[in-house]
Each structure stands twice: as structure tokens, then as C-alpha cells.
Chains A and B, each alone.
Chain A
Amino acid sequence: MKEETVIKVEGLTKVFGDFIAVNNINFHVRKGEIFGFLGANGAGKTTAMKMLIGISAPSSGSANVAGFDVYTQTESIKKSIGYMSQKFALYDDLTVKENIRFFGGIYGLSKNNISLKSNLLIEELGLEKVVHSLVGSLPLGWKQKIAFSVSLLHDPKIVFLDEPTGGVDPITRRQFWEMIYKAANNGTTIFVTTHYMDEAEYCDRVSIMVDGTIEALDTPKNLKAHFGSDSMNDVFLKLART
């Protein structure tokens, strides 16, 4: 099976003072894949992700995202990716529609395209009633779904999701993952960090970071077989404890 690689990471390292946050990590992510990026708090997931999305320069190693170099072509990377962080990243004091228009606008979408996309998005998420409500007044689950849709507005090749379902109820999480699958089926690569091990099972492949290094990387099925566990939860505990 020959597939296009959209993220290539080789020997990527980030050092803060004498603390090595990310230590020589290597992996490839294929186009259209849902790639789970797991690890305990402080394992270095967010630091690694920040290097990949071009807002933090690596200390050493190389990485290529959507065909662009993370040292020299960060602005080109930013054009080809979407990003949604655990800290909710839409403007609370703007309405749903205003948020969509603003982010569409700064990604350089045309006016027609923005109204087309925002109508589509509103219809898909069933937001007709709250389109003119301030985002701050909506429940968290809704906000996260809208934020994810907004991160897809400019048809990015890759979407980076940093703990997108933190604090969200199980039903909404389910719906959220349905949205992720739909995006992946359309050929968008999904790079997602999470603390929910049931979500790890939904991923095509999973990497587990412990203290700045990647300790395991495979499909959930292979990982479970390899560690002799019947759930990803077990796999994670075995790795993170040692």
C-alpha cells in the first residue's frame, strides 16, 4: 500500500534550558489518516504539536508538514493546516456567524465562499436558531463542534486537534468523532491529542509519548496485541507507569 505522507518527523527535539521537553521523536503520518497523539500530562505532546503547527521553533531535528519545512516555511504550513486547541479558540463576544466570517476572512476566503461555507456549516450542525447568538452563551459541546467546523473552513490538508473533547459529555463526544470521521473520509488528515482512551480506539494509528519520547506507535489493534491488553487504557497505563 503506497500512500502519500503528509507529516514527516525525524529526530525532532525541543529543549527549554536544561529540560528536554521533546526528545528525538520520529514518525510519519499518511494522508487521510486519523493519527492519535497520546501521552500523560507533561509528556511533551503540546510542545511537539506547537512545533508542527509553526508557532514554536524546534531545537534540532527536522519535520515537514504538508510538504513544508517547520523551520523556514511556517507561514506556508499555516495556510495548509487547521488548528483547534483545548483552550476554546473562538471569540466569545462575537456571534456564531461573525466568528465564521472572521476566520474565513483571515484565511483569505472570498465573500461568496464564506457565505456558502457558513450556510453549509450552520445547516450541518443544526445551528439555525443560534446563528446570531454570542458564542459565549452556547454550551461547551456546541462551541467545540463549531470550532472544529471553523478550523475546516479553508479546506486544510491536515487538522491539528489539541484535546478537542476535554470536558464534553459522552453524547457530544460521539457526535464530535462522527465529524472527525467525515472529515477524514473527505481526505483530511487528522492529528489529534486526547486523554480519553476510548477515543484512542477510534484512531487509525496511535503514538504514545512518555517523558518526551515516543514509546509506542502502531494501530490500536497491534498495540493491544503487543502489550497483551484488551483495551488501550491498559496499554497506556503499562507504558506510562514504567
Chain B
Amino acid sequence: MRVILYIINKEFRQIFRNKGMLPIIFILPLLQLVILSNAATYEINNISFGYVDNDRTHTSRALIDKFRASTFFDVSQVFPHPKESDLAMLQGEVDVVLTIPEHFERDLWKDKNIDLGVTINAIDGAAAGVENVYITQIIKTFNKNLAVDMVQLSNNTVQPVLIEGIPLFWYNKTLNYKTFMVPGILVLLVTMITLFLSGMNIVREKEIGTLEQINVTPIKKHHFIIGKLFPFWVIGMGLLTIGLVLAKLIFAVPMLGSLTLMYFYTSIYILVILGMGLFISNFTDTQQQAMFIAWFFVVIFILMSGLFTPIESMPKWAQFLTELNPIKYFVEIMRMVMLKGSGLTDILPQLLKTTLYAVIMNTMAVWSYKKIS
């Protein structure tokens, strides 16, 4: 036991003596939280919108004004001719072009079917889909108002019946994407920092030659590893704390569930990541190699974690693979506990899987660490 304390003492001294590393450990991740949470948005705004108005009537201008009034669209360009709008689309100046046909107003009053031309730049398919929904909504509302106008004009006693769904958004009432993103990004920074630090650490001792010295001492493998990893576990928990405080102060993300549960889960989760980092460093000879391998896994884990894209939309084989992704469990737990107030029984499946993962990872790490040169 005492041996472990000597190692922990030494590790902490080295970490806090390294003036270059400290800002990397504590400041960069928090910048990341603040910047990414604000910038990595799903909301589609400032869509550059152009139109070709072949009708040039009161009604067609009224339709354009609806777009102008919307906060999503940035009505910047008027094209006299479709050729010019095509060119502008090609050059990336506009993302959406609305073409209003000739006799738009006349046909509308005559209750004829009208084809409005909507061209959307769909290189980003997801964004194009959202833009399509916005456009359809605006046109529908416009149409509805128009229909009401017409009804009143014709002095008909029959009121048009409008059926509308009223959505209720649970757990994130205002559909604030930050509420959704902040817990996820908090997961990222805790994971990345602890993985990189633990992955780099033992390899660094290999590089400078001190590991050989350690290997000729009678130190027990698990003592050495516990002593090595404990400081990073503390740092990970510290980062979680700072991140939660920032989430509350800057982003007003609610914390509905139990903080104790959050910390309890995180304490086990970090063990998975540390074991992984150690496992990587046992199989590499230089910090560079360790960094590359760590990056390889981090990128896959992040993109397949459900943080940015829903796991339900992935193909079946990919969904199966995400079962091996620790970040997925952490993202789920974070969102469940923070936003839904889930309790211990709700997160039990993830908790058990993470615990199993931690046991397997650390057993492999201790097993693969050989006290040989």
C-alpha cells in the first residue's frame, strides 16, 4: 500500500511541475466546452435565400415577405432569370432558390394547382431536409392565411377546419440544442484528457528510460499501475466537476438527477478509459504511436457515440458495434441523469456494462504490462 502512495506522490509532482501540460489539462478542455457547445449546432440558421419572381404581383411579394420575416432565411438575392439563379447556386452564393411562376396570383384565386419551384443545395442532405421543412411550413402558413382571406372575401359561412398538432417537447422544453450538447461535450473532454494522459504516461517513461529502472525494482505490477492511474482518475473527476459547474453557470443546463449518481458512474467510467490508455501504452514504444492509436479510437468512439448522430439511425451492424463504445454509455447516462433525472435503477444496464468493461480493460492492462525490457 505504502508503495502506491510513493508513486502517486511522484506522479502528482511531475504533473504539476510540467508547466506546459497544466494548461493543456485544465484550460483547453474548458475552452472546448464553451466553444463547441456554442458552435456545434444542429439549428439551421442564416440560410441564404434567393428568388426568381416571374409573377411580380402583390401576392408573390407577400410570399417573399414571409421568407424575409423568417429568422431562418437571409433573403439576399433577386434573380431576374433562372439561369442566373442556377449560376449563383453553383458558385455557392445561395442555398435555396424559390421560383414563383407566372400567373401565380391569378391561379391562386382561381384555386388552380400551382407549382412553386424550390431548389435546395443538398450537398449536406440533413441540412437540406431541415430547410425543406422550413420552406414548406412558410408556404403552408401563407396558403392558409390566403385561404382564410378568400373565405372571408367570398363571405362564405363555412369556416375552413384546420387540424393542427400541438407538439409537447419533454425533457428539453425549449428545444435548446445546448441542453443536449453540453452534457455530451463534457463527456468528450473527460474522456479525451484522461485517455491521452494515461496513454502517453507510461510510454513516456519507456522513452526516457526510467521504465527500465522501474522494471528492475521489486515493485508489484498492480501497485505500479494503480499508482500511475490514480492521479489521472483524480484529474478526470476534477474535470467533470469544473465542467458541471460551467454547464450550470454558462449554459444553465439543468441537473435533474442525483449528482452523487453522476459521480459514482463517472468514477467507474474513468477506470475504463484509464485501462484503455494503459493498454495502448503497453503495446507502443513511443508517445507518437500511442497518440495515433488513441486518436484512432477516440474518433470512432465519438462519431459512434450518439453524441452527434442518433445511434438508432445507424445500420444494424454499427449499432451492434456501439455496444463496445464506452463513450456511448457515458453520453446516455449524462443526458439521462442531467436532463431526465434518471435514478440508479434506470441507468443500471449501462452501469453494469461499464463496470464489466472496466474490469476487463484493467485486467488486460495489468496482464499486458510486463516487467521486462
Contacts and interface: CB of A to CB of B under 8 A. Distances in A.
Contact of A106 (B209, B212, B219): B219
A102 B18 CA distance: 18
Interface stretch (B6-14, B124-132, B360-368): B6-14
Contacts of B212: 55, 85, 87, 89
A55 B372 contact: yes
Contacts of B209: 85, 87-89
Contacts of B3: 105-106, 108
B6 A55 contact: no
Nearest to B371: A55
Contacts of A89: 209-210, 212-213
Interface in A93-111: 93-94, 98, 101-103, 105-108
Interface in B1-53: 2-3, 5-7, 9-10, 13-14, 17-18
Interface residues of A, number: 30
Interface residues of B, number: 25
B17 A93 contact: yes
Contact of A83 (B10, B14, B213, B371): B213
A110 B216 CA distance: 20
A230 interface: no
B6 A101 contact: yes
Given A89-B209, A92-B208, A106 B217 contact: yes
A56 B371 CA distance: 9
B373 interface: yes
Contacts of B5: 105
A83 B214 CA distance: 10
A102 B373 contact: no
Interface in B51-65: none
Interface stretch (A30-38, A73-81, A163-171, A208-216): A73-81
A174 interface: no
A103 B213 CA distance: 10
A91 interface: yes
Contacts of B373: 50, 55-56
A142 B342 CA distance: 60
Contacts of A75: 218
Interface in B192-220: 208-210, 212-219
Contacts of A85: 209, 212-213
B372 A103 contact: no
A57 interface: yes
B24 to A, nearest CB: 16
Given A78-B216, A91-B210, A56 B372 contact: yes
Interface in A131-156: none
Nearest to A150: B213
B216 A53 contact: yes
A103 B217 contact: yes
A83 B213 CA distance: 7
Contacts of B210: 89-91
A229 B18 CA distance: 54
Contacts of A91: 10, 14, 210
Nearest to A50: B373
B14 A54 contact: no
B2 to A, nearest CB: 7
A74 B217 CA distance: 10
A89 B5 CA distance: 21
B213 A107 contact: no
A107 B214 CA distance: 10
Contacts of B218: 75-76, 78-79, 107-108
Contacts of B214: 106
B13 A94 contact: yes
Nearest to A107: B217
Interface centre among B13, B209, B215, B216 (most CB of A within 10 A): B216
13 contacts: A55-B212, A55-B373, A74-B371, A78-B218, A83-B216, A90-B213, A91-B10, A91-B14, A91-B210, A93-B18, A98-B13, A102-B9, A105-B7
Interface of A: 50, 53-57, 74-76, 78-79, 81, 83, 85, 87-94, 98, 101-103, 105-108
Given A90-B213, A108-B2, 16 more contacts: A55-B212, A55-B216, A56-B372, A57-B372, A78-B216, A85-B213, A88-B209, A89-B209, A90-B210, A91-B210, A92-B208, A102-B7, A102-B9, A102-B10, A105-B2, A105-B6
